[in-house]
Amino acid sequence: MTRRGALLLVPAVLLLLVFFAYPVIWLLMRSASAPHWGAQNFVWLVRHPVYLRVLLNTVTISATATICCVVIGYPLAYSMATGSERTRRLLGFLVLVPFWTSILVRTFAWMVLLQRLGLINQFLMWFGVVDRPVQLIYNRLGTLIGMVQVLLPFLVLPLYSVMVRINPIYERAAATLGASPTRAFLRVYLPLSMPGLLAGGTLVFIIALGYFITPALLGGPADTMVAQLIQQQIANFGDWGHAGALAAVLLFGTGLILLVMRSVFGTRDAWNVM
């Protein structure tokens, strides 16, 4: 039985070894072997403040996007988890539709809205907030507006799956024992929902680190992220050494975060989002 079981694995494992594991390892090896063996590609990275700046940008943008997702995603997940069956279904549907919609479509929608004479600027001028159109796109603000919207479901869905399992009786018990709603929430509900918040937050952060589409379309030259730099190195310069070094840094960072989360929360929490 075991031998036959192993046979079932052959096609998938072979496919992933040949067309995923091998090329990824090849790419990472380039960082040390192209054009010749040595640490020159990492030295290049450290010597150029421009590229260090890109790495710093990537971390700052990802962290800001994660914090924004947490701040606006938490109340949404809470309402989904504690609302009536109808609320739950409606909100679930409204979160899943954008989740299933192509990132390109959603980013394009933001391009339309954030344009110089787009809907948002029209609104701001109509309400008299500003008297001239403000620059909302091709800068960090645009990148963040777009990224947070795309990444929000990745926070809300795992958070919701944890929250829905929290028995409301705990919070009520705290209230009966004299805790104010705020105190009951902070001391009872928040700690119980923490695993979901951390799993969702980590997921958002690591997706943001390697993000390509939205920053490329909504960001400006000053908001270049590491994924765009990898793409440029390959598409414009064919420089596999530099691309490999950047990929190694990105993969190492992502892996490190996953490992830390895994050791803190056990194996499965970070994965079972899909």
* Subset of residues 217 to 236 that bind another protein, contact rule: CB under 8 A: 217, 227, 230-231, 234-235
Binds another protein (CB under 8 A): choice among 49, 86, 100, 236: 100
In the complex with another protein, the residue whose CB is nearer, 13 or 190, is 13
Binds another protein (CB under 8 A): choice among 113, 144, 188, 245: 113
Q: How far is the CB of 13 from another protein (least distance, A)?
A: 6
Site string for another protein, 33-62 (x = CB under 8 A): ------------------------------
Contacts 24+ apart (CB under 8 A), 93-99: 95/152, 95/153, 95/156, 95/157, 96/153, 98/149, 98/150, 98/152, 98/153, 99/153, 99/157
Q: How far is the CB of 229 from another protein (least distance, A)?
A: 9
In the complex with another protein, the residue whose CB is nearer, 197 or 209, is 209
Binds another protein (CB under 8 A): choice among 46, 52, 119, 222: 119
Q: What angle do CA 170, 91, 103 make, to 5 degrees?
A: 125
Evaluate whether 242 touches 44 at the Cβ level (below 8 Å): yes
258 binds another protein per the rule CB under 8 A: yes
In the complex with another protein, the residue whose CB is nearer, 40 or 115, is 115
